[in-house]
Amino acid sequence: MKIRGFGSTNDGREAKLYTLENKNGMEITLCDYGAHLVSVLVPVKGDEKKDLVLGYDEVGGYETDECHFGASIGRNGNRIAGACFELNGTRYQLAANENGNNLHSGPDGYDYRYWEVKEATDTFVTFRLESPDKDQGFPGNFDICVTYTLTQDNAIEIHYEGCCDADTVANMTNHTYFNLGGHDSGDVLNQTLVLKAEQYSPVKDSKSIPTGEHATVFGTPMDFTKEKAIGQEINADFEQLNFTGGYDHNYILDKAIEGSVELMAVASCKETGIVMEAYTDLPAVQFYAGNFIKDVKGKGGSIYGKRNGFCLESQYIPNAINEESEEKPILRKGDTYDTTTVYKFLF
């Protein structure tokens, strides 16, 4: 493991990067600010390595980042309608930071904070954060750890484990933007995707709150049950795509065993030959095609634009806390929050 500086945040505190490398030459780099996944380098030919994730050259970029490149999102990922919810008869108000709704827990998300490095070895790094009662508006003192492990078979395992001293909402996710052609290779429209989901969550309008329906993907541009280029139907005149400017929807996963870590997606790039398999034990995944990236100065002076990366954010269904029919992301007092997401690379 290598540790190096990553610049300082506005309060003068220095951020640190932690780099892990496996026997195959794959490297991942993590940051204690926001528990970010900063880079994923894989060998492509000879000594050349490609960085497959969007990000910044120093911590200041992440401090003002509205795209959430590589971020650990919490306490709740995705949207909560009206920026409020009720739990055990008490109404909790959150920050309304997007169209009157709460997105990714508001402007004071976990990705804008320093995390304690609890343990760091040659194969994994564990970050810890203590989130106090009423932090972001959520009840209870939430103690959460995120562990990134780089395996010898080229997988990044992200394990979340935590507990709370009161019933609360817990729905962590990772917001990495992948580009299997390389972070600086332009749009991802020719890269292909398979989603292990026959249903998705339609949204009501451009505010992206689900209707509560579990709709079939078959016969629509939302269908990724068979391998398809991300760009093949992204501009189709289809109401759901018009609402969100392209793919930015929750997919309900076909789970053989509830709560087991199973394949949720396979993405590939024919130009590089790189394939990424994604796994989760959660019931759903947000597929976001980077529709709203706009002229962002990224690593090495690259300018990231529209659809230059895609996200596969494992999660509970958005706004499930306010939907009676959905599995709710409630962590009960004394229980352990324990979930795993894996991104595995074939090259």
Q: Residue 327 catalytic?
A: no
Give the active site residue among 27, 157, 313, 326. 313
Q: Is 277 a catalytic residue?
A: no
Report the residue count for the chain. Answer: 347
Q: What's the confidence (pLDDT) of residue 99?
A: 98
Can you tell me the distance from the alpha carbon of 68 to that of 309, in angstroms, rounded to the nearest whole number? 12
CA distance 26 to 24: 6
**Helix (H, G, I), strand (E, B), or coil: what is residue 221?**
coil
Q: E strands along 199-310, which residues?
A: 199-201, 215-216, 228-229, 248-252, 262-269, 274-280, 284-288, 296-297, 303-304
Among 28, 62, 25, which residue's Cα sits nearest to residue 47?
25
Residue 32 and residue 156 in contact, taking contact as beta carbons nearer than 8 Å: no
Beta strand 311-315 with 284-288 is antiparallel
What pLDDT does residue 46 have? 76
User: Is the pLDDT at 50 greater than 90, yes or no?
Assistant: yes
Q: Which amino acid is at 191?
A: Q
| Structure confidence by residue, pLDDT tens digits, 171-230 | 999 999 999 999 999 999 999 999 999 999 999 999 999 999 999 999 999 999 999 999
Query: Residue 21: is it exposed, middle or buried by C-beta count within 10 angstroms (0-12/13-18/19+)?
Result: middle
pTM above 0.85, yes or no: yes
How confident is residue 45, by pLDDT bands cut at 50, 70 and 90?
confident
Q: Smallest Cα–Cα separation from 121: which of 95, 148, 98?
A: 148
pLDDT of residue 236: 98
Burial class (CB in 10 A: 0-12, 13-18, 19+), 300: exposed
Active-site position among 175, 183, 249, 326 = 175
Per residue in 80-135, pLDDT (tens digit) is: 999 999 999 999 999 999 999 999 999 999 999 999 999 999 999 999 999 999 99
φ/ψ of residue 3, rounded to 5: -125, 135
